[in-house]
Amino acid sequence: MNNNLFTYCLRLGDNGLILSHRIAEYCSAGPQLEEDLAITNVGLDLLGQAESFLKYAADIKGAGTTEDDLAFKRKEKEYRCVHLTEIPNIDYAFIMARQFLMDTYNFYLFKKLCSSKDTIIAGISAKAIKEITYHLNRSSDWIVRLGQGTDESHKRIQTAFNDLWMFTDELFETDEIEKDLANQGIGVDSSSLKKDWENKIKEVFSLAGLEKPTIEKHSLAYGKFGFHTEYLGFLLAEMQHIPLLYPDAKW
């Protein structure tokens, strides 16, 4: 089994899996019906991307492993999502700030993955980049709208970014797995995405009249390496509920 490729697919899949779960939690609680529809679209896209990457990871693992086994039957430490995806839906400002930070990251990551030498990763990414381009357009618009809307919306979206900022350094943290796959032209070294990401954030913040938070480093233990926030355990307890309660059943 190609361990590096397996772990890399888990990272790509788990980010979508956990972020789409947070969006699923928000179902029927949007500020208006049009937003319920739009955000569910984003959640569905992310879930579809997660399914594709987890299926690929399951194929790499072999021995009859399925994408559902990986989605629902791993231990918390075996998930590889970044902390940012785990943050709860505190309010609409946090939801959109979290989305915008991830969309921007995903946009530059998947743009590069489209030319991966691994044809499956390239294929999934070619489909995903179309979806992510829409996600980023949508979340950028909302950041500007909230930044420039009312005093309250400005304050809320600035607070959300201030509080979420400490989770962004993880996005660009790299390791031997990424470096190895980047050298082979299969994966992307996350640190190479930072400049584009920062420029896009700067551009949208400037349109929205928002200040870039100053905090840089938040932790030495990251989700992509299996060390999670306290939030993830509760999320998994709910998500894994049925498969763990009825291990022999098929759905």
Partner 1 sequence: MMEDSKKLEEFQAKIDADVKIEPKDWMPDKYRQNLIRQISQHAHSEIIGMQPEGNWLTRAPSLRSKKILMAKIQDEAGHGLYLYCAAETLGVKREQFLKWLHDGVAKYSSVFNYPTLSWADIGAIGWLVDGAAIVNQVSLQGTSYGPYSRAMVKICKEESFHQRQGYEIIVNLANGTKEQKQMAQDALDRWWWPSIMMFGPHDADSAHSNQSLKWKIKRESNDELRQRYIDKTIHQGEHLGLTFPDENLSWNDKTNHYDYSPIDWDEFWNVVKGNGPGNKARLAHHTKAHNDGAWVREAAIAFQEKQKLKSKIA
Which positions lie near partner 1, rule CB under 8 A?
Answer: 21, 24-25, 27-37, 40-41, 43-44, 47-48, 50-51, 54, 67-68, 71-72, 91-92, 144-146, 148-150, 152-153, 156, 238-239, 241-243, 246, 248-251
* Token code pair at residue 85: 């995806």
Question: Of 76 and 196, which CB lies nearer to partner 1 in the complex structure?
Answer: 76
- Cβ count near 172 (within 10 Å): 16
Question: Of 12 and 186, which CB lies nearer to partner 1 in the complex structure?
Answer: 12
* Token code pair at residue 136: 């980023």
Minimum distance from residue 92 beta carbon to partner 1 (Å): 5
Per the CB < 8 A criterion, the answer to whether 157 and 208 are in contact is: yes
Which amino acid does the sequence have at 15?
N
**Whole-number Cα distances in Å, 3 to 32, 155, 181:** 44, 45, 11
Minimum distance from residue 14 beta carbon to partner 1 (Å): 12
**Whole-number Cα distances in Å, 4 to 147, 183, 188:** 41, 12, 13
Question: Of 96 and 132, which CB lies nearer to partner 1 in the complex structure?
Answer: 96
* Separation between Cα atoms, residue 103 and residue 124, nearest integer Å: 16
Minimum distance from residue 71 beta carbon to partner 1 (Å): 5
Question: Of 215 and 237, which CB lies nearer to partner 1 in the complex structure?
Answer: 237
Locate all alpha helices (DSSP H) within the chain, ordered by sequence. 3-25, 33-61, 67-72, 83-86, 92-113, 119-148, 151-164, 176-183, 194-208, 230-239, 241-245
Question: Of 48 and 226, which CB lies nearer to partner 1 in the complex structure?
Answer: 48
Minimum distance from residue 36 beta carbon to partner 1 (Å): 5
* Half-sphere CA count of 129, side-chain side, radius 13 A: 14
* Token code pair at residue 181: 């796959």
Question: Of 46 and 177, which CB lies nearer to partner 1 in the complex structure?
Answer: 46
Minimum distance from residue 235 beta carbon to partner 1 (Å): 8
Burial class of residue 149, CB neighbours in 10 A (0-12, 13-18, 19+): middle
Per the CB < 8 A criterion, the answer to whether 89 and 25 are in contact is: yes
Minimum distance from residue 93 beta carbon to partner 1 (Å): 8
Minimum distance from residue 239 beta carbon to partner 1 (Å): 6
Question: Of 20 and 190, which CB lies nearer to partner 1 in the complex structure?
Answer: 20
Residues 6+ apart with CB under 8 A from 37: none
